[in-house]
Amino acid sequence: MPSFDYDLFVIGGGSGGVRAARMAAATGARVALAEESRMGGTCVIRGCVPKKLMVFASGYAEMMSDARAYGWDLADGTFDWGVFRGKLHAELDRLEGVYRKLLGNSGVEIFDTRARLTGPHDIALADGRAVSAKHILIATGGRPQRPEMTNAEVGLVSDDIFDLDQLPGSILIVGGGYIACEFAGILNGLGVNVTQYYRGAQILRGFDDEARGLVAEAMRARGVDLHCGTNILEIARVDDGIRVKSTNGTERNFDQVLFATGRVPNTEGLGLDAIGLVPGRRGEVVVDSYSQTSVPSIFAIGDVTHRVQLTPVAIREGMAFVETVFNGNPTPVDHELIPSAVFTQPELGTVGLTEEEAREREPVEIYATSFRPMQHAFAGRSDRVLMKLIVARDSRKVLGCHIVADNAGEMIQLAGIAVKMGATKEDFDRTVAVHPTMAEELVTMREPVRTA
Whole-angstrom distance, CA of residue 198 vs CA of residue 304:
25
How far the first Cα of the chain sits from its last, in Å, is: 61
- The rounded distance, in Å, linking the Cα atoms of 227 and 208 is 19
- Report the C-alpha dihedral over residues 205, 210, 211, 214, rounded to 10 degrees: 110
Neighbouring residues of 344: CB distance < 8 A, sequence distance ≥ 6: 178, 181, 182, 184, 185, 215, 218, 219
Which residue from 71, 75, 73, 66 is spatially nearest to 380, judged by alpha carbons? Answer: 66
- Catalytic residue list contains 435: yes
Helix (H) or strand (E) holding 212: helix 209-221
Contact between 317 and 333 under an 8 Å Cβ cutoff? The reply is yes
- Provide the residue type at 74 as one letter: L
Angle at 433 between CA 431 and CA 435, to 5 degrees: 165
Separation between Cα atoms, residue 262 and residue 179, nearest integer Å: 9
> ∠170-176-238 over CA atoms, to 5°?
35
* Cα dist from 116 to 9, 112, 265, 401, 436, whole Å: 11, 13, 15, 42, 56
CA distance 221 to 68: 20
HSE, CB side, 13 Å, CA atoms: give it for residue 36. 14
Task: For residues 283 and 279, give the distance between their C-alpha atoms in angstroms, rounded to a whole number.
Answer: 5
Whether 304 and 285 have beta carbons less than 8 Å apart is answered as yes
Residues in the chain: 452
- The single-letter code of the amino acid at 243 is R
Q: Any idea which residues carry the catalytic annotation?
A: 435
